[in-house]
Structures are given as C-alpha cells and as structure tokens.
Chains A and B, each alone.
Chain A
Amino acid sequence: NAGVTQTPKFQVLKTGQSMTLQCAQDMNHEYMSWYRQDPGMGLRLIHYSVGAGITDQGEVPNGYNVSRSTTEDFPLRLLSAAPSQTSVYFCASRLSWAGELFFGEGSRLTVL
C-alpha cells in the first residue's frame, strides 16, 4: 500500500497563479483532510471531507477550494495564489469519523 500520496512535493508560484495540490489514498478511508503548517503556528485545518461528495471548512478555509468526487482523491485548489499561502501542506486520511489519522509526506509551496 502506498498510503497517502501527495503531489507535487515542491512548487513555486507567482502571485495570482492557480494550482492544484493532489492527494490520493489507497486505504479506502472515508475521511480526508488538508492542513497547512507554518513556523510557530502548528498545523491548521483547511478543509475536510467525511466521504465522497461531502466537504466542510476547517479553521483557515479562505483562498482554498476542495472537492471529493471519489473516495480515493481529495485535491486542494488555490485559485489565485497569494504570498500568505506560502506554507507546507499536508494531506491526511482516516478510516471514518474516529481512528488514527495518517499523513502524506507534505508539499512545500512558495508563492512569490
């Protein structure tokens, strides 16, 4: 099993550009989520999904869109990147509403 796979691992954008961070899991997990990690801020929840077709906002959702058309995939879209979105992004999944959370390896995004 690959677990939780994130792509790309590194990305540099210019202000105003759009991009999608991909996240896929092969563990048949219902729950998936996106976090961002900034120095001194810990991990903050952006969006999460409790199943295909269902998404909800986390602590810091502004500037990000998500969708969940399949159980396996949960992409994170930045429609117009801003320097404040420079961060390390982590995707995570778990079997259901409870249980251990498993993380991908992270994607480092720099917005110039």
Chain B
Amino acid sequence: GIQVEQSPPDLILQEGANSTLRCNFSDSVNNLQWFHQNPWGQLINLFYIPSGTKQNGRLSATTVATERYSLLYISSSQTTDSGVYFCAVERSSNTGKLIFGQGTTLQVKP
C-alpha cells in the first residue's frame, strides 16, 4: 500500500514562532488532506489540498503532487495550535482508502 511519512514526529515551539510540517507519500494521489487533533481528541479538517496552495488565516498548505510531498505552515503559533497534525492521502488508483500518516505532535509553550 501507499506509504505516508510525516516529519518531524515531535515539535516544541514558543508562542509566536513559525513552523513547517512535512508529509511525504510514495505514490500518485488524487486526494490529500491535513487534520488537527486537539488535546481533547477532536479531529478537525484543516485543508483539502490534492495540489496547489491554500491559506486559512495563520495556516497555509502546499502540495506538490509531482514530487509527492505536502507542507503545512503555521505562522505566529498560539497555544491553541497544540495537538497532533495528520496528513492523509488517497491513491489515484485506489479511491476510497484515505490513509493517514503517523502525525506530528506539536506543543506550543506560552
């Protein structure tokens, strides 16, 4: 099956700092999404971004499908950004199976 690797596995930031999270995948995809799991366990969809660049407030994401990676940028981080960030992908040849990476655990300190 498709491999999804996220880096770094853990990240600690001071409030106000910027960060970049990376997602590498091993096959062609037609679906890529970023999620945030907050400390209470809720999973929130951040971006549906199979290609190109999107921005939502302090967060933005870029997917370069031809090079099989996606980046999530967090600017001016806040303590509420803490939690786990997941990338999930779906192979072009296997629609229906959205496969998750292991996640990046982010802790933002005040």
Out of B41, B42, B88, B96, which one reaches A48, CB within 8 Å?
Answer: B96
> What chain B residues lie within 8 Å of A43 (beta carbons)?
86, 88, 100
Interface residue A53 (Cβ < 8 Å from any Cβ of B): no
Question: Which of A14-22, A62-70, A96-104 is near enough to bind chain B?
Answer: A96-104
Nearest B-chain residue to A40, judged by Cβ? B102
How many chain B residues touch A (CB < 8 A): the figure is 23
> What chain B residues lie within 8 Å of A56 (beta carbons)?
96
Spell out B's residues near A (CB within 8 Å).
Answer: 1, 30-31, 33, 35, 41-45, 48, 50, 86, 88, 95-103
Q: Which of A45-64 contact B (CB under 8 A)?
A: 45, 48, 50, 56, 58-59
Q: Which of A1-54 contact B (CB under 8 A)?
A: 31, 33, 35, 40-45, 48, 50
> What chain A residues lie within 8 Å of B50 (beta carbons)?
98
Interface residue A105 (Cβ < 8 Å from any Cβ of B): yes
**Chief secondary structure at chain B's binding surface:** strand
| B99 and A103 within 8 A (CB) | no
- Give Cα A100 to B50, complex, Å: 11
Min distance, Cβ B2 to any Cβ of chain A, angstroms:
10
- Give Cα A33 to B88, complex, Å: 14
> What chain A residues lie within 8 Å of B103 (beta carbons)?
42
Spell out A's residues near B (CB within 8 Å).
Answer: 31, 33, 35, 40-45, 48, 50, 56, 58-59, 88, 90, 92, 97-103, 105-106
| B96 and A31 within 8 A (CB) | yes
Q: Given A105-B42, A106-B41, decide whether A99 and B98 contact each other with a Cβ distance below 8 A.
A: no
Min distance, Cβ B17 to any Cβ of chain A, angstroms:
25
Which A-B residue pairs are the 5 nearest by beta carbons? A103-B43, A43-B100, A42-B102, A100-B48, A100-B45
| A101 and B88 within 8 A (CB) | yes
| B33 and A101 within 8 A (CB) | yes
> What chain A residues lie within 8 Å of B48 (beta carbons)?
99-100
> What chain A residues lie within 8 Å of B35 (beta carbons)?
101, 103
Min distance, Cβ A64 to any Cβ of chain B, angstroms:
15
| A101 and B45 within 8 A (CB) | yes
